[in-house]
Amino acid sequence: MNRLSQTDTIWNRACSGGISEARSGDRALANLLRAHGLTINGGVLHAVECLTEIELNEAEAGYRFYGLDSISSMLSRAKGILISGEDTEDYESVLDEEYYEKIPDDDFLVGTFENHFRSNPSAYEPT
């Protein structure tokens, strides 16, 4: 039987939730992945609508933790659009295209996480 790599174990742990007492890297990854999953399923505006205020703030912090500041800013902009009451149809495809330009697929996020882990292993709970 193949044993999961350390990074696969950390990634899976982040996907399973329940990491409130974990280290900074674990929390950032879990919060980023929560927002990313919602974005992949329904778009940026959908993700922002589904997340609570706290979850959105945590997601923004998670993207920043991994150097994806532009995505963090995009989530904040999307929240502003929703609050403004403007017709979101004009923004939906623009935000989604911008997201996919920065994060074209899950492999990009995996690589970003793995690079961070190699440089900062102490940011993650041991496996």
**What residues does each domain of the chain span?**
6-122
Full-model pTM? 0.93
- % of the chain beyond a pLDDT of 70: 97
- % of the chain beyond a pLDDT of 90: 86
CB half-sphere exposure, 91, CA atoms < 13 A: 16
Q: How confident is the model at residue 19 (pLDDT cuts 50, 70, 90)?
A: confident
**pLDDT tops 70 at residue 18:** no
Residue 50 confidence (pLDDT): 98
What is the C-alpha to C-alpha distance for residues 32 and 15, in angstroms, rounded to an integer?
10
Q: How confident is the model at residue 115 (pLDDT cuts 50, 70, 90)?
A: very high
Query: Would you say 51 and 34 are in contact if contact means Cβ atoms under 8 Å apart?
Result: yes
The residue assigned the tokens 């920043």 is 64
